[in-house]
Amino acid sequence: MYRIIGADQKEYGSVTADQLRQWIADGRVNGQTPAQIEGAPDWKTLSSFPEFAEALGLGTSAGAPPPLVAQADGRPTALRRVKAPAVALMIIASLDILLTLWGLFGKLLMHANPQRYDSQMHELENLLQQLNNPQSRELMERLIHVMYGPWGIVGDLFTLVMAGLILMGALKMKSLRSYEFSITAAILCMVPCVTPCCGWIFGLPFGIWALVVLRSPEVKSSFH
């Protein structure tokens, strides 16, 4: 039994091989139609299935391997489609890594010099004294101590790990490798607390863009 993705991008099935051959004869599907054997993890074009070669007029016997030209047709197109969103994720991840490393380096220098740390905190507290609302001032003071304290360093390290995963996933996406890793990278990019430097502005739209491209059956079937 088989499932297919129609021209309207909707999934149809389960259908038998004989039904698919009839649909080929009726012109309802063709060699580039995404299809899947029921229970199999991957989608392929119909021309990749040797059992439909004769119906498609490919001149291949039932026992011969799938036609190489038909298999390769969709990959260059998929590579072109994933290139732009993959590069966008790579840029976001790289910026996050650079900016986070800059902030982390500054915090480590402050903690390495206690006098400098105390002086910096004192200056920030003096600036907060200008706030008229005591509750807001107290909240900001706590936030600053968290950001520049040990938890701030832990947060930076967490951001570096997440940005590194996004960068690795984007690289794999660009070369159509590891579909699951690519999906994970796109989802992580959409989470603002994971990419604080650029995620608030660019992470969500670029992550959605990447997911839409990755969910396309033609792109998904080209991954290996």
How would residue 72 be classed by pLDDT, with cut points 50, 70 and 90? very low
- Cα 3 from chain centre: 26
Q: pTM here?
A: 0.55
All structural domains of the chain with their residue ranges:
2-66, 75-220
Cβ atoms 83, 224 nearer than 8 A: no
pLDDT in tens, 2-51: 888 887 778 887 889 888 888 888 888 888 889 888 888 788 888 888 88
- Cα 148 from chain centre: 31
CATH placement of domain 2-66: 3.30.1490
Strands annotated E in the chain:
2-5, 11-15, 34-37, 44-45
Task: Classify the C-alpha dihedral 84-86-89-95 as positive or negative.
Answer: negative
pLDDT in tens, 12-25: 878 898 888 888 88
DSSP helix/strand/coil, 44 = strand
